[in-house]
Amino acid sequence: MKATTKIAGIAALAAIAILAVALVSPVYAPAACNDRADNDGDGFIDYPADPGCTSRKDKNELGTVQCDNGLDDDGDNSTDYPDDTYCTSPAGEFEANPLCGDPPQPCK
Ligand SMILES: [Ca+2]
Ligand SMILES: [Ca+2]
Ligand SMILES: [Ca+2]
Ligand SMILES: [Ca+2]
């Protein structure tokens, strides 16, 4: 094999490797609010259906309210809508009755 052919072969392999890295890079992955998947498991998919999405470019379907923030705010081992029974939708402000503690706790 000629040296020039060998170099061309190596260059081609390098180009394929760079392309492969670019394809799996998160830069090219669609944002969570535009990937047609229910990333946070609340039953709503992508912007504008998921209330946690502020735009199609939002990288996270989670929102800021307690029923959609990915945390078990009231410590009852259930997190967000629909798992936490006090949450009636992902737009729910509290995981427990706000009259029962600060932060809200399950009423006893
Ligand atoms: Ca999504
Ligand atoms: Ca969702
Ligand atoms: Ca929560
Ligand atoms: Ca909870």
Q: Cα separation of 29 and 17, whole Å?
A: 18
pLDDT tens by residue, 99-108? 876 666 666 6
Q: How far is the CA of 34 from the centre of ligand 1 (A)?
A: 5
| Mean pLDDT over the full length of the chain | 86
Q: Closest ligand to 70 CA?
A: 3
pLDDT tens by residue, 50-89? 999 999 999 999 999 999 999 999 999 999 999 999 999 9
If we measure between CA atoms, which residue out of 88, 62, 67, 93 comes closest to residue 78?
A: 67
Q: How far is the CA of 97 from the centre of ligand 4 (A)?
A: 11
The sign of the CA dihedral 75, 104, 47, 29 is negative
Tokens representing 39 are 């990333």
Domain boundaries along the sequence of the chain: 1-29, 31-108
pLDDT of residue 93: 94
Q: Closest ligand to 35 CA?
A: 1
